[in-house]
Chain A
């Protein structure tokens, strides 16, 4: 119990730190940061449940008014803004990523890559597209919205690769540190 609380709280703090390192703003207002890298790592390192809870805690504290979201944003506004779908989807994405790493006991690097791509790219984009679609009037077609999300795809695929490399190097340095594999 105490250990889980400590792990969840410290990894939530870790996403906050990764999210506020220097980053680039894209024209669509959704900034590229290590924020989604942090979400992927919560899943691959902590596993499904703890990973999702760490991400949920991070989002809750951001919503309460700390500027810890990508690009130093925070408060309630991002949760109703154009990229709100991504935020709401993050805990689910971390859960799915963690679940795959927990249940697919192949070599950790490739598994972490596939898990990050499935959870934090594939599934997350469905949430993101839905979030922007909620703002769009009925006449705007879903494919238009989906196409506008494609500009984030290269960055997110790079981040999935990094998440896999980091998870693998963690497993090499200290195998017992991968709590998702225990």
Chain B
């Protein structure tokens, strides 16, 4: 599984993850509070300049991530034109674009391990409810088991196709679930055998 961090180094990569996340919260809040198109456009330009600091390839990479938004933006513009409220439409589109572009910039310039470290640090005050070791273990286990689950799902679909002319539908999901439950029991046993979580 490939994380979404951009391999192109920018001046934003060395900035601590906590600082970037705090900045993102502030920018999103500002985007939600502004309700006129011009200041929102200025905010979007500002975020765009932050991308530009990474060079042409980085900007292109970032635009690629935003492409799935295009149909939504077209629908929103069309809808507001029908309602004859072009300004409201512009506000909505600019707001979504600015907030998502800023969030995506943080994702593209922060490594997964830095993010995990940050999350476990933020969660520390919750330690009576959510022990940091348990959280770190759960994150690591989940990431490790995505390819395992995916492999089992694929294998069951293959087995289905080998026996039936129909497409494998929901009927392959129950065995996948049973497999997950069995795996969980074995993983728990292995964790306990290695000293457990306490």
Q: Which chain A residues have a beta carbon within 8 Å of chain B's beta carbons?
A: 1-3, 5-14, 16-18, 20-21, 25, 27-29, 31, 37, 41, 45, 57-58, 60-61, 64-68, 71, 73-82, 134-140, 148, 162, 165-166, 169-170, 173-174, 177, 179
Cross-chain contact A170 with B146 (CB below 8 angstroms): no
- Shortest 9 CB-CB contacts between residues of A and residues of B: A29-B72, A75-B107, A9-B141, A76-B103, A64-B115, A13-B145, A3-B188, A6-B187, A80-B99
Quick one: closest B residue to A7, CB to CB?
B184
B138→A16 contact, CB < 8 A: no
B127 lies within 8 A of chain A by Cβ: no
Do the beta carbons of B143 and A1 come within 8 Å of each other?
Answer: no
A82 → chain B closest CB, angstroms: 6
**A140, B103: Cβ atoms under 8 Å?**
no
Partner of A28, one of B65, B72, B137, B149: B72
Q: Quick check: is B4 within 8 A (CB to CB) of the other chain? A: yes
Contact of A5 with B112 at beta-carbon distance under 8 Å, contacts A10-B141, A28-B75, A76-B24 already known: no
Task: Decide: B99 and A57 in contact? CB cutoff 8 A.
Answer: no
Contacts of B134 in A (CB 8 A): 1, 5
Cα A70 to Cα B31 in complex, Å, equals: 25
Most interface-central of B35, B69, B72, B106 (chain A CB within 10 A) = B72
A-B contact count (CB 8 A): 204
Is there an interface contact between B75 and A80, defined as CB atoms closer than 8 Å? no
Q: Whole-angstrom distance between the alpha carbons of A15 and B153 in the complex?
A: 12
B residues less than 8 Å from A80 (CB atoms): 28, 99-100, 102-103
Known A2-B196, A14-B177; contact A74-B4, beta-carbon cutoff 8 A: yes
CB-CB under 8 A for A17 and B150, given A75-B103, A81-B69: yes
Contact B191 A6 (CB under 8 A): yes
Q: Which one of A28, A66, A177, A179 has the highest number of Cβ atoms from chain B below 10 Å of its Cβ? A: A66
Enumerate chain B residues within 8 angstroms of A148, measured Cβ to Cβ.
79
Q: Is the CB of A16 within 8 A of B149?
A: yes
Whether the Cβ atoms of B138 and A5 lie closer than 8 Å is yes
**Chain B interface residues (CB < 8 Å from chain A):** 1-5, 24, 28, 32, 35, 65-66, 68-69, 71-72, 74-75, 79, 85, 87-88, 91-92, 95-96, 99-104, 106-108, 110-112, 115-116, 119, 134, 137-139, 141-143, 145-146, 148-150, 153, 170-171, 173-174, 176-178, 180-181, 183-185, 187-189, 191-192, 196-198
Instruction: Decide: B146 and A174 in contact? CB cutoff 8 A.
Output: no
Given contacts A6-B187, A60-B139, A75 and B145 within 8 Å (CB-CB): no
Q: Of B85, B110, B149, B178, which contacts A65 at CB under 8 A?
A: B110
Q: Once the chains bind, are A14 and B149 in contact (CB under 8 Å)?
A: yes
Q: Determine which of B24, B148, B185 lies in contact with A13 in the assembled complex, contact meaning CB atoms within 8 Å.
A: B148
- Chain B residues with CB under 8 Å of A68's CB are 1, 146
Whether B69 contacts A58 by the Cβ 8 Å rule is no
